[in-house]
Amino acid sequence: MAKNLTARSEDYSRWYNDLVLQAELADYAPVKGCMVIRPNGYALWENIQRALDDMFKETGHSNAYFPLLIPESFMKKEAEHVKGFAPECAVVTHGGGKKLEEPLYIRPTSETIIYHMYSKWIQSYRDLPLLLNQWANVVRWEMRTRLFLRTTEFLWQEGHTAHTTDAEAEEETLRMLDIYYRFARDFMAIDPIRGLKTDSERFAGAVRTYSIEAMMQDHRALQAGTSHNLGQNFAKAFDVQYQSEEGKMEYVWNTSWGVSTRLVGALIMAHSDDNGLVAPPRLAPVQVVVIPIARKDDERAEVLRVVDQLETALKGRVRLKVDRRTEVSPGRKFNEWELKGACLRLELGPRDVAAGHVTVVSRLDRSKENVPMDQVAVRIPEMLDELQAALLQNYRKMQSDHTHKVEDYGCFNEILDDDGGFLLSHWCGGAECEAKIKTETKATIRCIPLDAPEEQGTCVSCKGPSSRRVIFARAY
Ligand SMILES: [Zn+2]
């Protein structure tokens, strides 16, 4: 465990890989591009799942499960969708030792099979809205992969809804974008930008795609969640019709929305440091680790007695772990729990016992506080809240420090190569300009921010007229 992480300043990308492996969050699988999520990483995902699932249910959604295998003919029904996904699909051609009559796609996403089922289940306006979500795995054959951020198989949730009007579908699309935003802010301590994707970046088969875009510590952007208004594209391809109150047959309006295990990568990249994982308390697998410190046996018995009191005082209030190992020195335990991202370290030695307090060390900056034993139950949860708030504040400062208003294309390139970050620039709305900038600078339009004020300006590339700024960035 004494291994050291590569410093972020030396090689950010290696630091990330070192951290994921050494903090035992994930490991490489035998198949290239796949990963094994280890218990410490999976606990983060479970906490993400739990919080989001509650938010979905509070807004009227139910969970269901659809199959992994999708008939090839389904994939081909929506023209744009198949064009977007076919190149990265894994296809099963044999089963039970025989060649299949129709190849089966391993789902890259589930619109096709879900809307096929919706066409059976939706008959009347009384069946609407239909608000389902599924927690599942999907496979997209990626060429360049990275633990958590881009893997061939990943875990996610995909919501799929059907509505009677376009306006209702748009309202749902924005509602779910807002849920992703609030989750990122309140649980992940990340304050991403909400916005609309340009046509070239929109989901294959959608009318409009919205996303939340976060900044990582190397100032690159990471798309952390997407919400799509699918219009009637899939309803028409899969014949999802209902009888309206007036007795007319109408096509439904659909939305879909998703976040994935990529969020674990975002959380690591946004907050962690050269000593290891820094996890926001609301999602951390271990919020509090207790390290008993005793050299002699008689000291040890006394220390462990107080450790038991601590455990009782904090039970049910925080996710706590007592590291009772005797063969590992306290110093090594400190390093190990910093690496694994325990938010607070409670050190308890004979001197602490005598003084009637416990020494609390914050994962964020190693600041120390002596908390009297009779205040532990109140003060420790409070300190976790303070740490959560400090992480959000640090994130906001980073994002605003590295967001630049840029007017001139020369500066645009310089800033991208130097500081990176979010570049707020005018764009004429032309796909040619967008593509040209992408080729020349590797920066893409992350989104057209929803809260961007109207402002007259000229396109950073062609000098054509523009009425608002968009966000350009190099992205993961
Ligand atoms: Zn332009």
Running along the chain, 476 residues long, what does each successive block of 10 average in pLDDT? 81 97 97 96 98 98 98 88 86 96 96 96 98 97 92 97 98 98 98 97 93 98 97 95 97 98 98 98 98 91 95 95 95 97 97 97 97 97 98 98 96 95 96 96 97 93 95 97
Q: Taking phi first (over 0 means left), then psi (-120 to 50 degrees means alpha), and beta for anything else, what does residue 442 get?
A: left
Q: Calculate how far, in angstroms, residue 465's C-alpha sits from the geometric centre of ligand 1.
A: 8
pTM metric for this prediction? 0.96
| 113 token code pair | 């099979």
Among candidates 90, 70, 68, 66, which has minimal Cα distance to 78? 70
Kind of pairing, strands 249-251 and 241-243? antiparallel
Residue 316: left (phi > 0), alpha (psi -120 to 50), or beta? left
pLDDT of residue 1: 44
Ligand 1 center to 456 CA (angstroms): 14
Phi, psi of 230 (to 5 degrees): -90, 0
Cα 436 to ligand 1 centroid, rounded to whole Å: 9
Distance CA 338, CA 345 (A): 9
CA of 464 to the centre of ligand 1 (A): 5
Distance 219 CA to ligand 1 centre (A): 25
User: Cα of 463 to ligand 1 centre, how many Å?
Assistant: 6
The Å distance, Cα 476 to ligand 1 centre, comes to 24
Q: How far, in Å, from the CA of 194 to the mean position of ligand 1? A: 23
Cα-to-centroid distance, 251 and ligand 1 (Å): 37
How many angstroms is it from 206 CA to the middle of ligand 1?
24
253, β-bridge pairs: 163
Residue 366 DSSP one-character state: -
Q: How far apart are CA 438 and CA 6, in angstroms?
A: 30
- Centre of ligand 1 to C-alpha 426, Å, is 8
Give the Å distance between the CA of 459 and the centre of ligand 1. Answer: 5
Span from the CA of 437 to the centroid of ligand 1 (angstroms)? 9
Burial class (CB in 10 A: 0-12, 13-18, 19+), 193: buried
pLDDT given at position 2: 44
What is the predicted pLDDT for the residue at 476? Answer: 95
Secondary structure of 145-187 in the HEC alphabet?
CECCCECCEEEEEEEEEEECCHHHHHHHHHHHHHHHHHHHHHC
Nearest to 287 by CA among 216, 386, 393, 181: 386
CA of 458 from ligand 1 middle (Å) equals: 8
**Å from CA of 403 to ligand 1 middle:** 21
User: What local confidence, expressed as pLDDT, does residue 83 receive?
Assistant: 84
User: What amino acid occupies position 124?
Assistant: S
195 bridge partner residues: 211, 449
Query: What does the pLDDT read at residue 305?
Result: 95
Helices marked H in 86-140? 111-121
For residue 438, report the distance from its CA to the centre of ligand 1, in Å.
12
Cα 170 to averaged position of ligand 1 atoms, centre (Å)? 28
In the reported structure, the alpha carbon of residue 429 is separated from the centroid of ligand 1 by a whole-number distance in angstroms of: 7
Q: What is the 3 state secondary structure string of 211-257?
A: EEEEECCCCCEEEEEEEEEEECHHHHHCCCEEECCCCCEEECEEEEE
**Separation of CA 204 and ligand 1 centre (Å):** 24
